[in-house]
């Protein structure tokens, strides 16, 4: 069992795609064990994407990620990290495989509808960024 952090980005929330994104994860067998809607400040977006500090797109990315509400979720399942990355598709919707969220719904390389953790280390950090342990519901329901 593995956990990962996914976000429906501002372009997805704005276009009423929250349910569509969650539905794709659930249909793949992943369980939602934490869920919330929030709006990041610019400073919080800069902290979340700190690994990209110094990249040419950093300011555009963090301005965009703080431009409107997002939905944060923790997904659990076997190979959850890789599964979510596969369902999301490549960063640039133009390069994403057909049938992936980004190919079907993404607008451009920046406004690409979803985020998903890229490694076990980052998943732990990113989950902790948005959720405390008592906000994650596991087991029988
Ligand atoms: P990922 O989300 O597929 O893991 P990363 O390379 O980690 O992609 O980049 C994080 C986010 O930064 C992307 O999802 C996208 O929103 C944005 N981004 C990445 N590269 C560019 C770019 O070249 N132009 C604009 N935005 C970008
Ligand atoms: Mg990434």
**What is the Å distance from ligand 1's center to 46 Cα?**
13
Domain ranges of the chain: 2-135
**Residue-wise burial string across 114-130, b where 16 or more C-beta atoms lie within 10 A, e elsewhere:** bbbbeeeebbeebbeeb
**What is the Å distance from ligand 1's center to 76 Cα?**
24
108/52 Cα distance (integer angstroms): 18
Among candidate residues 115, 116, 117, 123, the one labeled active-site is 115
At residue 141 the predicted structure's pLDDT band, cuts being 50, 70 and 90, is: low
**What is the Å distance from ligand 2's center to 117 Cα?**
7
What confidence tens digit (pLDDT) does each residue in 51-109 have?
999 999 999 999 999 999 999 999 999 999 999 999 999 999 999 999 999 999 999 99
The CATH number corresponding to 2-135 among 1.20.1050.10, 3.30.70.141, 2.102.10.10, 3.40.50.720 equals 3.30.70.141
What does pTM read for this prediction?
0.97
Is 52 part of the annotated catalytic residue set?
no
Confirm or reject: Cβ of 109 under 6 Å from ligand 1. Answer: yes
Neighbours of ion ligand 2 (CB under 5 A): 118
């Amino acid at each position: 069992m593995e956990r990962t952090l996914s976000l429906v980005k501002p372009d997805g929330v704005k276009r009423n795609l929250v349910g569509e994104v969650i539905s794709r994860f659930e249909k793949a067998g992943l369980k939602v064990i934490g869920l919330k809607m929030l709006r990041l400040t610019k400073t919080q977006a800069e902290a979340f994407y700190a690994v990209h500090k110094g990249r040419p797109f950093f300011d555009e990315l963090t301005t965009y990620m703080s431009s409107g509400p997002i939905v944060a979720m923790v997904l659990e399942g076997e190979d959850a990290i890789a599964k979510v990355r596969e369902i999301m598709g490549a960063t640039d919707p133009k390069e994403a495989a057909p049938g992936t969220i980004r190919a079907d719904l993404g607008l451009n390389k920046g406004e690409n509808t979803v985020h998903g953790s890229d490694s076990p280390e980052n998943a732990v950090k990113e989950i902790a960024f948005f959720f405390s342990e008592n906000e994650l519901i596991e087991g029988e329901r």
